[in-house]
Amino acid sequence: MKVRARRLFAFGKAIVALDAAAADDSGDASGAAGPGSRRARQEDDLLAGLLDAPGLAARTSGVVLPAAAWADGGRPRQVRDAGMLAGARADVGSESILADGQAQVSSGLDGLAARLGRLRERGAGFAVWHMTAIAALEQDALHALTVNSQSSARFAYVCQDMALVPVIRLWMRPIGALEPLSREAILAAALISVGGHLEDLGVDLAGVVLGMEPELGNDADPLSAGPLAALPRTLGGVLLAARPHRPATDALAKVRSVHPPWPVTCCLDVKPGVDRAARVRAASIGPAAPVGPIGPVAPVGPVAPVGPVAPVGPVGPAASGGPAPVRAAPVGLALAAVPVTRR
């Protein structure tokens, strides 16, 4: 388990999460979007394009697969054969602990062991639990934080019992406008709460990974004054959230520059669009230019269009006048911007 946790951070590689949809609470690892659904086909196209991207394994240590990909062991096996760990989301979404629908907490503890057991049999090496921290200075938010921390710790406990690496991803859900210092304080409180409950259950912190949005503060040393100062030094690793268009390179560089006691990298969240795998590959490769230690990426030939796609913003210049910007996330470009370190 500790070896797998170290593999997730080998050489500073990134983790890619394909589709952040929750698992299915029915106990079926294939999720709410069945293998034959339109969404499942889109996810599979995106995954196929990702697996075909040149140099993927050189910059990626693990892939969080969509729920439908776990219907059989085919896709997880491909990920493992490419030298990466296959992961799955374990929670089933969120629910409110109040009648007014506020104070959302993560769900999925019922049947968790059986669900994780099926995922492990199909090749999972790690599992992800999404925990939402309400960014508000209210009593209800504090109660929700306690419940969420307890649930996250129970998830980690079950994961380690099954030799899976638990990855707890903490999301800040703002309620109204908050000053940056308030957001940092709430994130620090959430990290302390999670760490405390992990220790209460006797979870081995060296095998636990915590993920969060990079709220690092304005101080030169994020380990002495920012929220990361609340993390135990024995933690297995830290993931900084990143979007496909803007990897958390600045945050990564800032944290790595102060030599943290635990390994740190970023997680790229990619959601499927309406694009075919070929369009995804074309968008992900970008120009034939050096991208760091692994050298230049070779361009691909022109790709035939598959119909109009509404752009959501620029994805960088395309090689040789390639296709127009598409909704697919430029996975290759994002990974190319992640600095690879040899630890």
Which residue type is seen at 35? P
Q: What is the mean pLDDT of residues 191-207?
A: 95
- What number of CA atoms fall less than 13 Å from residue 178's CA on the CB side? 19
**Least confident segment among 22-26, 129-133, 214-218:** 22-26
Q: What is the mean pLDDT of the chain?
A: 75
| DSSP sequence for 190-257 | HHHHHHHHHHHTT--GGG-EEEE-----SSS-TTTSSGGGGS-TT-SEEEEEEBTTB-SHHHHHHHHH
How many CB atoms are closer than 10 A to CB 235?
23
Q: Output the six-digit token pair for 198.
A: 């992990």
Q: Which of 66-80, 82-96, 260-274, 302-316 is least confident?
A: 302-316
Q: Are 132 and 104 in contact (CB under 8 A)?
A: yes
Cα 301 to the center of its chain, rounded Å: 31
Q: Is a pLDDT exceeding 50 seen at residue 34?
A: yes
Cα–Cα dist 197/188, whole Å: 14
Mean pLDDT of 45-52: 80
pLDDT of 329 reads 43
Closest by alpha carbon to 103, among 203, 195, 35, 173?
A: 173
Residue 265 scores a pLDDT above 80: yes
pLDDT digits (tens, 9 = 90+) for 208-224: 999 988 776 666 688 88
The answer to whether residue 17 scores a pLDDT higher than 70 is: yes
Q: How confident is the model over 75-112, as pLDDT tens digits?
A: 899 999 989 999 999 999 888 877 776 777 889 999 99
Unique residue bearing structure tokens 């220790």: 199
Which one-letter amino acid corresponds to residue 203? Answer: V
Q: What is the pTM of this model?
A: 0.78
